[in-house]
Amino acid sequence: MKMTRRKLAASALASAAALAQNPPPVPAESPDELLKAAREQAKRTGETLARQRIPMSTEPAFQFKA
């Protein structure tokens, strides 16, 4: 079966669009549970970032100017 690049791209975009339209169902949770989960995720992210070694010579991607 021969398929042109345009047809291949069109079929790939169509399947990606179909997947994007049907998000997975979100379980109904109370606001307290959502807040607790967000705090736990932020804590885990902070711990992961704290383990990374960054040399002092590394400059930020932006500069603060007064």
Please state the three-class secondary structure of the chain as a single string: CCCCHHHHHHHHHHHHHHHHHCCCCCCCCCHHHHHHHHHHHHHHHHHHHHCCCCCCCCCCCCCCCC
- Please compute, for residue 14, the number of CA atoms within 13 A of its CA located in the half-sphere on the CB side: 6
pLDDT, one tens digit per residue, over 12-57 is 777 776 666 655 566 667 888 889 989 999 999 988 888 888 777 7
pTM over 0.75, yes/no: no
